[in-house]
Amino acid sequence: MLDPGLAAALLSPPGLGVLGLLIGSFLNVVVHRLPAMMWRAWWKDSVEFQLADPLAWQPLFGSQSRPPPQLALAAKAIDAELKKLPQETLLHPRSRCPQCGHVLRWWENIPVFSWLVLLRGRCSACGTRIAWRYPAVELVTGGLFAAAAASFGAQPSTLLWCLAIALLLTMALIDLDTTLLPDSLTLPLIGVGLGGALAGVTGVTPAESAAGALAGYGVLWLVGFVWRLARKVDAMAEGDMKMLAGIGALLGWQALPSALLLAAGLGAVVGLVMIAGLGRDRSKPIPFGPYLALGGLCSIFFGPALRSVWLL
């Protein structure tokens, strides 16, 4: 067992702040690699199970029909290209400069410090600028982990809030970059919420957590349904519904009105500024995940205060 004094130090705001910096560094890798891994899996499935497969073809085109031979050729060509790609998981290989392929040494990988002091925002091998978003993500993760330690105390259950924060940040960034919200992030958040409620460490009962998951999914499904009837476009993606289900599972159904109002309000303001001020194309979808994440994060830290405003 861990010495109680050491455990308290690790779970204190400075301890979790340092852990947050390290986790933030890992989140940068996840945000970069997870979408690529998803696309790779999508192409692989298409080639292996669908593209030239009579079982996928015949239910739609008739039991006597055969997939055109070009499809088999295309599947073969895609397969050959896929085999050329280097194998990549979240942990392997080590981080590289996307420009020149230089493998980062340990001292180039220290959160925030390497970027700010040692590298001054540039790759040590080729001099290409490294985006400020990398250290910013590390700083924000570290700051939020430290805030969680300050809000929820130096106890093991605070790690559950840190996990939820890390999941929300990762979803926000991946949605921002790709407009994807991976099931591999949204579903675990639902699990963390339900598990936390069952363990009695999140301040909501299992029933409130389950109701939050259902209501979170349902309310965005309903918005999407009404919007489709009225405007004939898909306004809501299923990923958004699962993400709000996760927030509802974590914080209970009571937190949903304020989290959703915050997300929608912020989304509307930023959307209008981008369309009016920056000339953004109105027909382009605006990812909702980053705003849901902000609504969720505010509710984690200021839930009771936000609810009292809403109930006035």
Of 126 and 270, nearer to Zn ion (C-beta) is 126
| 102 part of the interface to Zn ion, by CB under 5 A | yes
Footprint (CB under 5 A) of Zn ion, residues 143-182:
none
| 100 part of the interface to Zn ion, by CB under 5 A | yes
Tell me the window of 70-78, 128-136, 155-163, 258-266 that interacts with Zn ion (CB under 5 A). Answer: 128-136
Of 102 and 307, nearer to Zn ion (C-beta) is 102
Of 76 and 94, nearer to Zn ion (C-beta) is 94
Among 18, 125, 261, 294, binds Zn ion (CB under 5 A): 125
Of 95 and 178, nearer to Zn ion (C-beta) is 95
Of 96 and 282, nearer to Zn ion (C-beta) is 96
Return phi, psi of residue 175, to 5°: -65, -40
Distance between CA atoms of residues 186 and 174, nearest Å: 12
| 123 part of the interface to Zn ion, by CB under 5 A | yes
Of 100 and 233, nearer to Zn ion (C-beta) is 100
Among 39, 54, 96, 99, binds Zn ion (CB under 5 A): 99
- Least distance from Zn ion to the Cβ atom of residue 127, Å: 7
- Least distance from Zn ion to the Cβ atom of residue 143, Å: 28
Nearest residue to 136 (alpha-carbon basis) of 28, 230, 253, 231: 28
Distance between CA atoms of residues 296 and 242, nearest Å: 13
Among 9, 73, 126, 305, binds Zn ion (CB under 5 A): 126
How many chain residues are in contact with Zn ion, going by CB under 5 A? 8
* Dihedral angle of Cα 286, 290, 291, 297, to the nearest 10 degrees: 180
Among 51, 97, 140, 213, binds Zn ion (CB under 5 A): 97
Tell me the window of 52-60, 71-79, 91-99, 297-305 that interacts with Zn ion (CB under 5 A). Answer: 91-99
| 34 part of the interface to Zn ion, by CB under 5 A | no
Tell me the window of 113-121, 123-131, 178-186, 290-298 that interacts with Zn ion (CB under 5 A). Answer: 123-131
Tell me the window of 1-9, 67-75, 94-102, 185-193 that interacts with Zn ion (CB under 5 A). Answer: 94-102
- Least distance from Zn ion to the Cβ atom of residue 267, Å: 36
- 79 burial type by CB count under 10 A (0-12 exposed, 13-18 middle, 19+ buried): middle
The site map against Zn ion for 51-90 (x = CB under 5 A) is ----------------------------------------
**CB of 11 closer than 8 Å to CB of 149:** yes
Radius of gyration of the chain (CA): 22
| 280 part of the interface to Zn ion, by CB under 5 A | no
Tell me the window of 34-42, 121-129, 134-142, 215-223 that interacts with Zn ion (CB under 5 A). Answer: 121-129
Which residues are at the interface with Zn ion (CB under 5 A)? 97, 99-100, 102, 123, 125-126, 128
